[in-house]
């Protein structure tokens, strides 16, 4: 099976029937409007490609058996590292595979590789894990059951169940922050949280949505990355690139006609990286029965680059309020935890 789209220009290749919609592949050439001024592809563009691949494979799997038809909606994206930059003119190879299913959710592993079509050189740029839930076409508020997959080893199912329980617990832990909002400040000082914090207001139109009237997860992630990039650029006033995205949690669906506010603020800086918290609030202006609500939240990490593409030191953030100091310490904890994990992976095995 071959599907062609342009806009995000997606080619999807269905593999053999024996793999029954458990794997998909896509190719996309990177164009100037996909990149920043330095020629590096926007992190949000890559996140959108990753989500599209995940949505296709999970929707296909959830409709692989007879029963009520559904569409897979993005519920969560695990931490995603940007391992290597992708440039204009390179071809992105996106592959997706279903790695676990619970009763009501699908785990999808997506890998992105870039190819220099002049030299044939390929390199891994991204690895991401996404979770989807199947929503009924008759009633998008109804979550359906997921067809089970057959595992080649029992350990695969047990490991998948552990990942499922861990992400479920983390999703619950993020909900306490849902009342937090980003407040504007007058005449903020440089290097403070207020100085670089930014917001983007967007009216959700038909082109942002699925055929069933709610926003693609990839559209939301791209907008979140744009706001995080503005915060990082304002803070360090250099070229910046996305280094990683911590877990993105989608707390509720965003429907067509909503006005969404994407707000970003600096929470922590190390010597060469910046952590930015991004919050997405939806205001259903055409529905007076529903109040403004928190739709998504995530932490993005950016690095500062010179014109030659070399990593630069980051101006240190100056937290002023008690809440800002608390968020700084929490960000420091996440940074040290991830640093320890990277060092652990780098240590040679005995």
Q: Which residues are catalytic?
A: 36, 225
C-alpha dihedral (35, 40, 43, 47), degrees to nearest 10: 70
Distances in whole angstroms, Cα of residue 126 to Cα of each of 74, 270, 344:
18, 23, 20
Backbone angles phi, psi at 54, to 5 degrees: -65, -40
Contacts of residue 104, defined as CB under 8 A and 6 or more positions apart, other chains included, come to 133, 134, 143, 144, 145, 146
Please name the residues in contact with 291: beta carbons below 8 A apart, sequence gap of 6 or more. none
In order of 26, 86, 97, 157, the CA distances from 33 in angstroms are 19, 13, 28, 41
Joined tokens for residue 121: 């050189």
Which residue intervals of 89-177 are DSSP H helices?
154-174
């Amino acid at each position: 099976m071959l599907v062609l789209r342009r806009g995000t220009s997606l080619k999807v290749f269905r593999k053999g029937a024996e793999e029954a919609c458990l794997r998909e592949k896509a190719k996309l050439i990177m164009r100037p409007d996909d990149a920043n001024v330095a020629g590096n592809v926007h992190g949000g563009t890559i996140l959108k490609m990753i989500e599209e691949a995940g949505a296709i494979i999970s929707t296909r799997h959830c409709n692989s058996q007879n029963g009520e038809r559904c569409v897979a909606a993005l519920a969560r994206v695990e931490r995603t590292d940007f391992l290597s930059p992708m440039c204009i003119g390179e071809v992105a190879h996106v592959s997706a595979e279903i790695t676990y299913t619970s009763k009501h959710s699908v785990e999808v592993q997506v890998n992105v590789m870039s190819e220099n079509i002049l030299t044939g050189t390929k390199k891994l740029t991204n690895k991401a894990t996404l979770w989807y839930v199947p929503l009924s076409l008759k009633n998008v508020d109804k979550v359906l059951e997921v067809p089970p997959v057959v595992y080649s080893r029992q350990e695969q199912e047990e490991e998948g169940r552990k990942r499922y329980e861990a992400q479920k617990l983390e999703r619950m832990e993020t909900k306490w922050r849902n009342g937090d909002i980003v407040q504007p400040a007058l005449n903020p000082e440089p290097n403070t949280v207020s100085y670089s914090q930014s917001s983007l207001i967007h009216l959700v139109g038909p082109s942002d949505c699925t055929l069933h009237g709610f926003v693609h997860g990839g559209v939301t992630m791209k907008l979140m990355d744009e706001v995080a990039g503005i915060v990082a650029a304002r803070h360090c006033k250099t070229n910046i690139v996305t280094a990683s995205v911590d877990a993105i949690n989608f707390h509720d669906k965003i429907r067509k006609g909503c006005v969404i506010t994407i707000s970003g603020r600096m929470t922590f800086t190390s010597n060469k990286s910046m952590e930015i918290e991004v919050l997405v609030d939806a205001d259903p202006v055409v529905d007076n029965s529903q109040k403004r609500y928190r739709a998504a939240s995530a932490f993005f990490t950016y690095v500062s680059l010179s014109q030659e593409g070399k990593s630069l030191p980051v101006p240190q953030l100056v937290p002023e309020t008690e809440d800002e100091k608390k968020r700084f310490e929490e960000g420091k904890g996440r940074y040290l935890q991830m640093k320890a994990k990277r060092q652990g992976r780098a240590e040679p095995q005995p």
